[in-house]
Amino acid sequence: MTKKTMNENEIREILISFLSKKYSDEADVAFIKELFIEQFKQRADLVLANGKLVTYEIKSELDSLNRLPAQLESYTKHFEETIVVCAEKHVEKVKEIIGLEVGLWAVNIKGEFKAIQKPKKIKITKLSWLSHLPVDELRVLLKQYSFTRSGNRDTLTQTIVQKLSCNQVREYVLDYFKRREQKISLLKTRRLETKSLNNEYKRLNIDNSKTISVHSMETNTGSYTVLPRKTSNNPNPVPLHIHLNQELDLATVQ
């Protein structure tokens, strides 16, 4: 039976897949899901950071358009391009809501996208760029240019606004989003490796609640050497060399 509607999450995953292929030749493309802005007042469904900062607001058939005007007002202050991606049933109504600076894509039930209106690039202010950074990143940015790093968020922000150009701030924020997503990706990989390793502990009947020595861990290959706990049943444990298959979430003992 063919599914007749897609929800926001399903559209977002298809959109990420589509954009990943579109920008496959570009290095360091970052996708940020559900990014909060304006002190958590608004949440962008999907943000793309490569050579520019683009937000995609998703409206599925199940979604209302009541909040869209307020969302667009916020997005156009904080992102260089804003694109509404909506189900075909919303297209005509969305056209009435958006301005000429906002892009519009329609998505059908097959997950195919059609560009109806191209977005215009907006020059956002230094304050808007800086609103994307946590306080510790504001300090790192100031340190990079050898400026004083003391004070609260407002003080740090004002120092950056006075001392640095908009382009310097822009480049740093884009780099921050890329670094942020790389860290999140690495954490997800390690979590997957840990899950696989714990499954292997169970399979080998190793008591993971006790101390186990992990002699080596190579994140890229998922290779581990572990020393099982000494027990009465296993008085002379030998090291176990484990290689994790991240895609299949399996472990192989060598």
User: What tens digit of pLDDT does each residue of 188-214 get?
Assistant: 666 666 666 666 556 555 544 444 444
pLDDT score at 214: 41
Could you write out the three-class secondary structure of 96-147?
Answer: HHCCCCEEEEEECCCCCEEEEECCCCCCCCHHHHHCCCCHHHHHHHHHHCCC
Does position 226 have pLDDT exceeding 70, yes or no?
no
The radius of gyration computed from the CA coordinates of the chain, to the nearest angstrom, equals 24
Please give the span between the terminal C-alpha atoms of the chain, in angstroms, as a whole number: 45
- Of 28 and 65, the one with more pLDDT: 65
Contacts of 70 (CB under 8 A, 6+ apart): 42
Mean pLDDT estimate for the chain: 83
- State the pLDDT confidence band at 183, using cuts at 50, 70 and 90: confident
Does position 221 have pLDDT exceeding 50, yes or no?
no
- Amino acid (1-letter code) at residue 216: S
Give me the architecture of the 8-117 domain, per CATH: 3-Layer(aba) Sandwich (3.40)
pLDDT score at 109: 93
- State the pLDDT confidence band at 24, using cuts at 50, 70 and 90: confident
